[in-house]
Amino acid sequence: MAPHANDSNGTATGMAGGPAPTDTATGFAVESPNVTYGDDTINARYTYRTTDVSFADGKYQAKPKETVYDFKTQTKVGKVGLMLVGLGGNNGSTVTAGILANRRKLEWETRERSRKANYYGSVVMSSTVKLGTDTKTGKDVNLPLHNLLPMAHPDNIVIGWWDISGLDLAAAMDRAQVLEPTLKSLVRKEMAGMTPLPSIYYPNFIAANQGDRADNIIPGSNACMEHVDHIRKDIRDFKHANGLDKVIVLWTANTERYANLIPGVNDTADNLLKAISAGHTEIAPSTVFAVASILESAPFINGSPQNTFVPGCIQLAEQHHTFIGGDDFKSGQTKMKSALVDFMINAGIKLTSIASYNHLGNNDGKNLSSQKQFRSKEISKSTVVDDMVAANNVLYKEGEHPDHTVVIKYMPAVGDNKRALDEYYAEIFLGGHQTISMFNVCEDSLLASPLIIDLVLITELFTRIQWRQHTTATTHQGESDCQDWKSFHSVLSVLSYLLKAPLTPPGAPIVNALAKQRSALVNIMKACVGLEPENDMTLEHKLF
């Protein structure tokens, strides 16, 4: 494996993938008439059971419903490329160093002890799911999530990048102050050979204090079709130079201010393209990157909190059948909040206020010290409890909601070690109160970097899954009438577990409860191999 820089004529090349990793985990096969294994596909028939509810004569009527789907998963992964917007930031330099360290199985000394490269924090690479129950012992059998279906391995991802800062990645890694010096020394030579492609820079959308980093710029300070074409060419050149089967683009650059939603400008796909061509000043850099990616059929993921996916951008993705996902990595404080609030409300405890305070000293904190950029983050952090509150009409009457405030302060001295302080104030039995105070020190980029890996691996997987619905009853002996094969909706809401402000298809409900988000991901993957959803009833141990 050898790193590559941009060559002299501007061709986009990237960090080459390594040899296929050795996977020692146990495989499995499903024995069922509903599952067949072809030469290049796994085909599963799955009965999706839900409950339809109607209200009549003063009471709810619940009616079980069954819908039969076929899922077809291509088993050949191919060669996957990841192009990061903002690679020279803390997240980009950290995830690149992490992939290099894992690829080379590095080990290094710290003040505490020797450490080995790992993918801790990645739900795909480091969590397990229940496969079933051992027939002899009665114990649960668990296997790594990435073994449920054929998935790309992060060691093999080829990385390319853009950045408004021209620093090579070794210098960017030093600037980030995230990694141990001994680890940095082991990857420095490779990282030093990686320099970013020029990016677009619209000062109107990020904090003025970022201007001193902007020395690697594509000319022009407003959206234009030339910028879209430039980025599209970068994607094509990167794909060709590295012999890739697919490219995924991910925004890990600065938080932008919210773009104003303007009729005739960004409300439809046609209007958005016209507005870009006309150089409209209300088109954000992240939206330009998203449009370019969509037109190149490259999935685009937004890891920052701004409203990249204006209605016209979502419509464009739907027209081109290209996946998009966002917004904002869910790494530390918000992940704890979405788990704890879910627990409290499901326990029948009435949460009445949430006060969240953060201070951090990395460049994200510096950018967020500007009010307009902070407002984007405040929105993404403040909406994470809404669906859990709405689900409990015993505790909360219509329109009732806990008080919720979010504060972020820039404190350079703490660097990437973000401090998150939360107070949860709740009403309990007979007018009593409960207060839970939490102090969370989050090594921000070491939590966010595995999420980048997960977002890429899951998105890549869903590019290989198709589904169709049966419109008449089906028997195991014969075929029913079926719709045509389709891909999942362009808004890939299955990524919600990893994102603070999950994007959903127009009209679909937003789910923020952490357990529900993970369950959706795992159970869809299980459906693709004909297995039932995770079931915690364990009746076999309760009915004696």
Q: Is the pLDDT at 377 greater than 80, yes or no?
A: no
This model's pTM is above 0.85: yes
| Confidence at residue 380, expressed as pLDDT on a 0 to 100 scale | 61
Q: Which two tokens stand for residue 330?
A: 């869910």
- Residue 542 pLDDT: 83
Is the Cβ–Cβ distance between 364 and 255 less than 8 Å? yes
- Reduce the DSSP state of residue 381 to 3 states and report it: helix
pLDDT of residue 358: 85
Residue 466: helix, strand or coil by DSSP?
strand
Distance CA 494, CA 522 (A): 9
Beta strands in 350-485 (DSSP E): 350-360, 403-410, 417-427, 433-443, 465-469
C-beta separation of 454 from 122 below 8 A: yes
Integer-rounded Cα Rg, in Å, for the chain is 24
Identify the pLDDT of residue 369. 66
Task: End-to-end CA distance of the chain: give it in Å, rounded.
Answer: 58
In the structure, what pLDDT confidence band is assigned to residue 9 with cuts at 50, 70 and 90?
Answer: very low
Q: Tokens 């703490």 — which residue? A: 414
Residue identified by tokens 């990061």 is 84
Residues recognised as catalytic: 328, 377, 418, 500
Q: Which domains does the chain have, with CATH numbers?
A: 80-329+446-464+490-524 (3.40.50.720), 333-444 (3.30.360.10)
CA atoms of 79 and 102, how far apart (whole Å): 18
Q: Which of 122-131, 435-444, 506-515 has the highest average model confidence (pLDDT)?
A: 122-131
Lowest mean pLDDT among 289-298, 420-429, 447-456, 529-538: 529-538
For 63-106, the pLDDT digits (tens) are 999 999 999 999 999 999 999 999 998 999 999 999 999 999 99
Tell me the C-alpha distance between 45 and 475, whole Å.
11
Q: Is the pLDDT of residue 406 over 90?
A: no
pLDDT, tens digit, 9 for 90 and up, residues 176-196: 999 999 999 999 999 999 999
Beta bridge partners of 67: 48
Which residues fall within 8 angstroms of residue 56, CB to CB, at 6 or more apart? none
